Structure 1
Amino acid sequence: MAIKKDNIKLIFGLKLRQLRLDKGLSLNELSQKSGLSISYINEIEKGKKYPKSDKIIALATAIDEDYDSLVSLKLSKRLEPISELLSSNILTELPLELFGIDPANLLEILAEAPAKISAFVGTLIEIARNYNMSIEKFYFSALRTYQEMHDNYFEDIEQEAEKFLELHQVTPDQLLDEVFLANILETEYNYKIEPIDDKANPAFASVRSLTITNAQGNRLLVNSHLSPVQRAFIYGREIGYLFLNLKNRLHTTALVEAESFEQLLNNFKASYFGSAIIIKRSLLVPAMADFFSQKQWQPEKLIGMIQNFNTTPESFCYRLSNVMPKFFGINQIFFSRFNNFAGQNLYDMTKEMHISRKHYPHTVRDEHYCRRWVALTILNDLGESTGNKASTGILCKAQKSTYIDTSDEYLVVSFAQNMSPTPNINVSVSMGIYLDEPTRAKLAFLQDPDLPSRNVNQTCERCSVFDCKERIVAPTILQKRHKNEELRKALRKMIR
């Protein structure tokens, strides 16, 4: 991949600094030999300026290096990882200022200690390769970090959503449905909404929506297997792109098409907007305040809220992650989504977000998640109800989960529903709340005897509960850890 134009100055500066140090020259000595000022050379080495040809010749002569070698974009072997980083899209496409990082400061760090940074960057790249981490996965991780840094609450988008509702004279108690939102797309933005023809285009069978914008007009193709509430969210997100004037966008719900971090960020903003106009905070906050004040655990109330807001369990949980830190001071929470092929004891975590700190559960490669988690047991319940041809509406279960190794306790509320356009896939979404003392005081129903409690762990491979009936593999990682500890003890004893 070609080096980005903005990084050529940095590469030149890194090379010049490294060659100067290799020759044992100080900035003052190089200044005297080249006839350039110390401050100007310092600016070059920090990647802030790129000298003209006559000055490059002067520098090359001063450090006894030929001109072509000095201007070459090839870095020395020890700086190759930095070259690889600069050759990627990361520094140019990731808006570092979102994370409180001044790009100029980052470049200065690279210039000040290139050898150490090179080793660090090389390690990160090697880890990414070993875990098959693509640039798209890096962007997803960066976006998740951005959301977590802001407690997943964005007042500017909330205000834009309320401006939209006011502009369209939506009354305080009015809830938006697919008809209302589709009408806005068709009448105000000249959209044509059509079903996806998955027989003619089988590659789009699992795609929820596809936006086509060209000289002929705007077309929004929607998967015909989606429910009205799923279509409503897609329309709301599409309006979000338009109302927020987000130009660089994704055209499908297949997020792997993302070519830049900006596209993922804009998709998040449009989705946030869509959720905010469908699940208005002015209605959700008092509804949740009433729910938290109840002394009995009432899952039917949550299901009723989901249905009243004309939304899905996933959108509802995600919207809760917006308002709970801001309006209830409950900010140690996580959101997760699991997929499960009906009838199989395999579970894949396909989405997660953590606020305040990293919580359990979170994605673990090549291990088996604890089968005591309510997020997984509810999928088993859904599979059984579907197999028995019972109602396949929304299931809701909750559990107070105490982690055996840490004694950390969470309230985990899980929903399951068979709403995936992919056949035979069941989905659960969960909201977890860390139960510290201030949070316990805000949830009146925690002492309800109908709210079950269970001891859980991270994965079977790490679990010390050997008589666990749900265990499906041996605790190999725990056994290895114990074996290593015994070896360390033996070594310490021998040394003494």
Structure 2
Amino acid sequence: MDDAQRTFIYAKELAYNFLQYKERLYTFSWIKFENFDQVLNNFYASYFAGALILPKAKITEQLTTLFENETFDEHLFLEIINSYNASPESFYQRLTNVLPKEFNIQDLFFLRFTHRAGSERFHLKKELHLSHQHSPRANETNEHYCRRWVSLRVLKTISSTKEDHVFDLQISDYPDDDMKYLLLSSATKDPFRDNQYRSISIGLLINKHLQRKIGFLNDPKIKTTKVGVTCERCAITDCEVRQAPPILLERKNKNAQIETVVADLQKRLG
């Protein structure tokens, strides 16, 4: 357990005592819980801890400086993360609180992926969508997540380089949805499992409001990449990292063609 993890645990204990919660967890909610109140109080205590470790006023001031730049300053962004005794995951989660309240950036999502070094499997373990469900999302049918996502790319990088922290960003263009997102993603070692890594990402829908708030959206150094959700549903034909054929998309198109033929026959036959 590193210093950031210990700090978060101590902050949660302060929260439990300050809020005077009796129903509480003594381990992680995904390991064991006895009732819903324990899970809910754990959420409130975690929120309290995040706000204590990453104070809103300071992080708002830092982000304002970052957003005013016409080019993305990666060094400054990493300095902001490292200025807190907190993990990148805690920092990104705190952004989901601060960005809507202080910058009125409501259209965002948060993702946490896990990955075992040497494998080709990526598991979406946590997701949060504000305002509505955004294009990157979980699937429960063992489909292959788009390998063009920066969330997966940083995992591939860190699993081979063994660095402490790998960061990258991109603009993800979803042509089927006609939407673009600014994605910032950090990968670190999983503190609880050997030879496993996790990536934390926050995505911001690029709209007129975001263009007014963030000055570096037109930075030519930020790569724009056409992406899908899963290979099985993706219409991109020239993908160099496709893991599976677009069988679900083909099935959908075939069914649509059948429906068109049937509708045409019904119209002709009256």
**What range is the shorter-chain TM-score in?**
over 0.9
Please point out which of 292, 300, 314 is paired with 2:75.
300
Q: Secondary structure at the match of 1:356?
A: coil
1:248 & 1:360 partners in 2: Cα distance? 36
As a proportion of its length, which structure holds more strand?
2
Matches within 5 A, 1:51-66: none
Please point out which of 420, 425, 428 is paired with 2:191.
420
Task: Tell me how far 1:259 sits from its aligned partner.
Answer: 2.5
Q: 2:221 is aligned with what amino acid?
A: D
Task: Tell me how far 1:260 sits from its aligned partner.
Answer: 2.2
Correspondence for 2:154? 378
Task: Tell me how far 1:256 sits from its aligned partner.
Answer: 4.0
Say whether the 8 Å CA contact 1:420–1:427 is kept in structure 2.
no
2:190 & 2:232 partners in 1: Cα distance? 31
Q: Secondary structure at the match of 2:168?
A: strand
1:431 & 1:323 partners in 2: Cα distance? 12
Say whether the 8 Å CA contact 2:29–2:39 is kept in structure 1.
no
1:347 & 1:431 partners in 2: Cα distance? 17
| Structure 2 residue runs without a partner (length 5+) | none
Q: Look at both structures and tell me which one has the larger radius of gyration over its CA atoms.
A: 1
Please point out which of 267, 273, 276 is paired with 2:48.
273
2:146 & 2:118 partners in 1: Cα distance? 18
Correspondence 1:364 to 2:139: yes
Correspondence for 1:40? none
1:397 & 1:263 partners in 2: Cα distance? 36
1:437 & 1:422 partners in 2: Cα distance? 42
Correspondence for 1:233? 8
Say whether the 8 Å CA contact 2:146–2:227 is kept in structure 1.
yes
Task: Tell me how far 1:255 sits from its aligned partner.
Answer: 2.5
**Scaled by the length of structure 2, what TM-score is found?**
0.96
1:253 & 1:234 partners in 2: Cα distance? 11
Correspondence 1:402 to 2:173: yes
Say whether the 8 Å CA contact 1:339–1:350 is kept in structure 2.
yes
Task: Tell me how far 1:321 sits from its aligned partner.
Answer: 0.6
Correspondence for 1:441? 212
Correspondence 1:264 to 2:39: yes
CA RMSD after TM alignment: 1.1
Q: Identify which of structures 1 and 2 has the higher relative contact order when contacts are C-alpha pairs closer than 8 Å and 6+ apart.
A: 2
Q: 1:433 is aligned with what amino acid?
A: L
Correspondence for 2:108? 333
Correspondence 1:247 to 2:18: no
Correspondence for 2:227? 456
Q: Secondary structure at the match of 2:216?
A: helix
Say whether the 8 Å CA contact 1:383–1:426 is kept in structure 2.
yes
1:252 & 1:440 partners in 2: Cα distance? 42
2:71 & 2:22 partners in 1: Cα distance? 47
Q: 1:417 is aligned with what amino acid?
A: T
Matches within 5 A, 1:153-232: 226-232=1-7
2:24 & 2:48 partners in 1: Cα distance? 14
Q: Secondary structure at the match of 2:217?
A: helix
Q: 1:304 is aligned with what amino acid?
A: E
Task: Tell me how far 1:254 sits from its aligned partner.
Answer: 4.2
1:302 & 1:253 partners in 2: Cα distance? 30
- 1:82-112 CA distance string (max 9 Å, x none): xxxxxxxxxxxxxxxxxxxxxxxxxxxxxxx
2:97 & 2:117 partners in 1: Cα distance? 31
- 1:113-149 CA distance string (max 9 Å, x none): xxxxxxxxxxxxxxxxxxxxxxxxxxxxxxxxxxxxx
1:463 & 1:239 partners in 2: Cα distance? 47
